[in-house]
Structure formats: structure tokens, C-alpha cells
Amino acid sequence: MLMYIALVLTAGGCGGAAERASTNPYAGLPPDVRPRPVGPGAAYRPPAVAAAVGRRATIDGLRCLASPGRRFGVHLELFAHRYVVHIPAGIGVAPPQRSRGAYVLRGACYYRLRTLEPTGVFQVGPGRVLALGDLFAVWGQRLAARRLLSFRGPVHGFVDGRRWRGPLARIPLRRHAEIVLEVDGELPPHPAYDFAPGL
């Protein structure tokens, strides 16, 4: 028995620390700097345009404006079952949209919450402080304590790397907030995001 345990320990179980140290490209970096792939299937690639946005309807008091105007940036990351959920470009931009590659250049009108690139960076227009519930309302997707888009399970929220204990829909969208939502499986959240100039 003891010999068996010694054998497993000697073999290093899963490759040995020395080998891992020499091949791990992220050695010495913070634990949040690890890659995660986008999940399989359509559920991990939700559409951008909600039906209400397509109709240019007023959503929770937010109107579709002719010009995008001034804005600041908020970054959102979504994970389900430890896979990335892709956040598309064109959320909060009424069709017809004009795109170049992965980027949306313009649309018929713009809500105060919108994405022009598929990176999770939301542009937020000025006015009353909006919350994460407003963002999901404009997107037309579900957010609750046990529901994130089409995924079910306990949803955990993080703001700037810290666990959010209140209702997720009330997370305020403040300038340069880094918001992470995870359903079924906790990952080390990023504490910050480096925004492009002008945001």
C-alpha cells in the first residue's frame, strides 16, 4: 500500500511540478490570466438585437436616439459552465445596422446602452445611473438569481473583482466598471479592464 502511494507520488501524478513550471506560459501571472474558450452551441452566441429594439420601442424608459452622443465604457463578461458566452456587437442598436468585419459602424438609432464591438465593452450614454437590469432589458435577455440568458443555475456576480452580494440587476453601471457574471462554476474574475481612449 505504502509502496503504491510512493509510486504515484514519484510519478508526479499529473506531470510533475518542474515540467509544468517549464511549460506553463502563464507562470507568475495573476490567477485571472488564464484563457477560456467560447462554449459550444448557439446558447453561447446569443443574438444582439431584441424584438423591442427592432421596433425601436422605449425600453424601461430608455428611448432609441438618433445620435449615439457622449458615452463612457463598462465591460461585461459572461460565463456558463466555465465557458465564455460571446457578447455580440450591435446590442442596443436598431436595425438596419451597418457593419465592417466584427464591428457595428452605425444603426437606425441607438439606446443609452449599446455595443459596437463584440468584446463585452458597453457604451453607456449620460443621464441617470443605469443598472445591469437595464442592460439586460435592452439586450432582451434573462438575468435573475438562478438564470443567465438561457442557462439555469446559481448566478454569481463580481464587480471590479469583488463579489456582489445584492440583486444582480441592481449592479450600477459606473464608468469603467468590470462586471463578471458566472453560472455554474466560479472562475477568478478580472478586477479591471483597460478601456480604449474616449471611453
Partner 1 sequence: MSAKPAIVLCTVALLAPCLAPATAGGDADPASDVLLTQSVFYPYSAQVSAQVQKTLNQATARARRAGFPIKVALIERPLDLGGVFELFGKPKAYAKFLDTEISFRTLQPVLVVMPTGLGGSGLGSAATATLAALPPPPGRRPNALAQAAITDVTKLAAAAGHPITAAASPTSATSGGPGAAPLVGIAIALVIIALAVVTLRDRRRAARR
Q: Given the rule CB under 8 A, which residues bind partner 1?
A: 1, 4-5, 8-9, 13-15, 25-26, 29-38, 40, 75, 77, 79, 82, 84, 86-87, 101-103, 117-121, 178, 180, 185-190, 192-197
Looking at the Cβ atoms of 96 and 101, the one nearer to partner 1 is 101
Task: Tell me how far, at minimum, the Cβ of 55 lies from partner 1, in Å.
Answer: 26
Looking at the Cβ atoms of 134 and 178, the one nearer to partner 1 is 178
Task: Tell me how far, at minimum, the Cβ of 53 lies from partner 1, in Å.
Answer: 20
Task: Tell me how far, at minimum, the Cβ of 4 lies from partner 1, in Å.
Answer: 6
Looking at the Cβ atoms of 1 and 42, the one nearer to partner 1 is 1
Task: Tell me how far, at minimum, the Cβ of 128 lies from partner 1, in Å.
Answer: 27
Q: Which of 170, 48, 24, 159 is nearest to 97 (CA)?
A: 48
Task: Tell me how far, at minimum, the Cβ of 187 lies from partner 1, in Å.
Answer: 4
Looking at the Cβ atoms of 59 and 87, the one nearer to partner 1 is 87
Task: Tell me how far, at minimum, the Cβ of 104 lies from partner 1, in Å.
Answer: 11
Please list, residue by residue across 16-44, b when 16 or more beta carbons sit within 10 angstroms of its beta carbon and e when fewer do.
eeeeeeeeeeeeeeeeeeeeeeebeeeeb
Q: Which residue has the cell 425601436?
A: 56
Q: Which of 113, 114, 73 is nearest to 197 (CA)?
A: 73
Q: Report how far residue 107's alpha carbon sits from residue 169's, in angstroms, rounded to the nearest whole number.
A: 27
Q: Alpha helix (H) ranges present in 24-118?
A: 51-54
Contact 125, 175 (CB under 8 A): no
Looking at the Cβ atoms of 40 and 51, the one nearer to partner 1 is 40
Contact 179, 74 (CB under 8 A): yes
Looking at the Cβ atoms of 31 and 126, the one nearer to partner 1 is 31
- Displacement of CA 74 from its chain's centroid (Å): 10
